[in-house]
Amino acid sequence: MSLTPSRGFRACFGLPVRVTAPAAALTLCRALFVGALAVACAGAFAAAPLSASAAQAAASPALPQEQIAAVGEAGTVYLSGTWSGFVNFPTPDGGTAWSDEVDASFSCSGFVASSDGSVVTAGHCADVAEGKTSIVDEFLASEVSNGDITEADAQGYLAAGAEANWPVEGQKTGEPPVLAMKVYPAITISADDSTSYPAVLVDDRPLDQGDVALFKIDTPSPLPVLVVSTTQPATGQQVDAIGYPGNVTSLVSGNPEPTFAQGQVSGRQQTDGGPFTQIGVAMSPGMSGGPVVDGNADVVGTVSFGPSSDTQQLNFAAAPETIAALLSRNAVKNELAASDTQFRAGLNEFFTGKYHAAADDLGKALAANPDNAIAQQYQAKAVAAFPQENTMGWVIWVVLGGVLLVVVVIVVVLLLVLGRSRKRRRAAAQAAAETAPAMSGAVSGYGSPEAAAPPVGMAPPPVVAPPVGMTQAVGYAAPPPTPYASPTAAVPAEFAPVVTSPGLAAPQPTAPVAAEPRMASPEVAVPLAVSEMAAPGMAAPETTAPPASPLAATPTEFAPAAEYPVAAPVPAASVYSVTDATEHPATEQPATEPAGAPCSSCGAVNSAEARFCATCGNPLGR
């Protein structure tokens, strides 16, 4: 099975058609590495706690409703205010009189805008005009309760404009009534306990100017913050109004919890006091100033007012840009503190099933603010849910990633080993191909072997001329010399061709044997001179006069054979060099001529067709 991609696959994806083993290994390694990395990242993502999820929670849409309630409740506050002043009321004799100090209590809702204690509520909760009205109403109610006037009298005074016309002053003449405000953060309110902080009015915009107010409290620890949205709520968007309605507060025993009234945005309206968001949420006194939050638990308004004679759930909330302008005008930084980030991270982990991480982050939030009752509540829930969390899921991902990495390493090693083995075989074949042409006397193809050139310094073999009067047949080639060497004459070792073959030792040189002088036949004429036949360093043999012969030619034409020492012929087989059998396995050696009778002069065996001895040149006897 091939591990490289097919030709069609490589062409389709723009890969080279010819892929070597290293390239295939690299490609496969990359693919496996990417897969292992994806598995490892998925495991790390599944295993890592979402420590920064609080910041992402604000950007992620549609948090669970319970999580919205937890974040919203943590940032909500309960405000308890008291107006104190003196009322100048009419007497039965037609005069006026100043009452005793009258205290008018009321409640509102609000939210924490900064962790250092900035609190936003409705403007009419801090409006002096509203305070005077509350004091007059309280004075008439007390007069009815004391029996000084009847209920009908009180209604008559109100109808006559007592709230707007009766003077109300503070401790000193000409001063407005005094407002004493206490703020109870929701995180400090439990069923049987609560913690309040005195609040100072920083800025106030009455109903006809946007209906927002800013208070400041001093707390020993940072408070959870609700962030004001930077965008307008869309019509039809789901919202929640959070607050402490007075009618519910008066009915419950102990400290109440905030109420969540859910509805939709009905539209955006412009009034004399500025822009307001119309919401289809039921409201009641006491919820004024409470935050209206969207699906990300961001503030998109504060509860403001509603038509007094309208029974439908059509109420108005201050616009988010009005709240943002109030904070900006007073240099309030509406951002999450570190403890608040940990608190939101713990809530997000709790609602995503990561109970161990939730308990840890909520514990950090409690270390910063031990009074955070909501953090305590959800930390206890997280600890109780420990058995439900699968804490071993990340181990499976890590094991899978490790297995894939091991597979990658094994495959890469195997491919590298195969590639190196293939390289070695290719290099060995190339070396053999380069060595074969350098061998001497190599056989070319399947034809006849080429004759080997004589060694350097050695004269070519003598050419024997045919006897006088004898002609060579046309078209008849002289037979090759017999491969049988002469027993009496030998070629010097330094001149003899050396036949070598890879793996075989070279033959040892033999000492030269001097050829015995023979009487040359007068029928043989050798056209070569002695100086041409004599090998370097060898003395010419002595010559003897040949006997008279009827066939002898003129002395000037033929010289005695003894003057021409003839070197032993090189056997035909010596012209072939042993070559690599693997290159020409089917090469056939040429067939040799049948041997004839030995020469009577020198004893050399010649071909059966030869007329003269190839060694001494004498005629062969028949």
Question: Tell me: the pLDDT tens digits for 151-164?
Answer: 999 999 999 999 99
Is the model more confident about 311 or about 323? 323
Q: Each residue of 443-502: pLDDT tens digit?
A: 444 444 444 455 555 555 555 555 554 544 444 444 455 444 444 444 444 444 444 444
Domain housing 299: 65-336
Counting other chains too, the contacts that 465-470 makes at CB distance below 8 Å and 24 or more residues apart are: 465/524, 465/525, 465/526, 465/527, 467/523, 467/524, 467/525, 467/551, 468/523, 468/525, 468/551, 468/553
Q: Is residue 253 part of a domain?
A: yes
For residue 607, the model assigns a pLDDT of: 78
286 φ/ψ sector (left φ>0, alpha ψ -120 to 50, else beta): left
Q: Token pair for residue 152?
A: 């009908």
- Does position 191 have pLDDT exceeding 70, yes or no? yes
Rounded to whole angstroms, the Cα distance separating 154 from 90 reads: 12
- Does position 329 have pLDDT exceeding 80, yes or no? yes
Q: Is residue 204 part of a domain?
A: yes
For residue 308, the model assigns a pLDDT of: 61
Closest Cα to residue 265, out of 251, 254, 252, 279? 279
For residue 26, the model assigns a pLDDT of: 61
- Does position 283 have pLDDT exceeding 80, yes or no? yes
- Does position 548 have pLDDT exceeding 70, yes or no? no
Q: Is residue 240 part of a domain?
A: yes
For residue 502, the model assigns a pLDDT of: 45
Instruction: Using alpha carbons, list the distances in angstroms from residue 188 to 194, 217, 223, 357, 544.
Output: 5, 14, 10, 24, 147
As a whole number, the mean pLDDT across the chain is 75
Q: Is residue 116 part of a domain?
A: yes
Q: Is residue 245 part of a domain?
A: yes
Rounded to whole angstroms, the Cα distance separating 228 from 334 reads: 7
For residue 239, the model assigns a pLDDT of: 95
Mean pLDDT (whole number) for 566-571 = 47
Q: Is residue 517 part of a domain?
A: no
When mean pLDDT is compared across 38-52, 407-421, 422-436, the lowest value belongs to 38-52
CATH code assigned at 284:
2.40.10.120
Q: Is residue 82 part of a domain?
A: yes
- Does position 417 have pLDDT exceeding 80, yes or no? yes
DSSP element (H, E) containing 467: none
Mean pLDDT (whole number) for 518-526 = 43
Among 177-191, 519-533, 579-593, top mean pLDDT goes to 177-191
For residue 186, the model assigns a pLDDT of: 93
CA 350 vs. chain centroid, Å, equals: 30
- Nearby residues of 93 by Cβ (< 8 Å), 6 or more positions away: none
Q: Is residue 136 part of a domain?
A: yes
Q: Token pair for residue 512?
A: 């030269």
For residue 606, the model assigns a pLDDT of: 80
**pLDDT band at residue 278, thresholds of 50, 70 and 90?**
very high
Q: How many domains does the chain have?
A: 1
For residue 39, the model assigns a pLDDT of: 57
Lookup result for tokens 């409290």? 217
Biggest CA-to-CA distance, the chain: 200
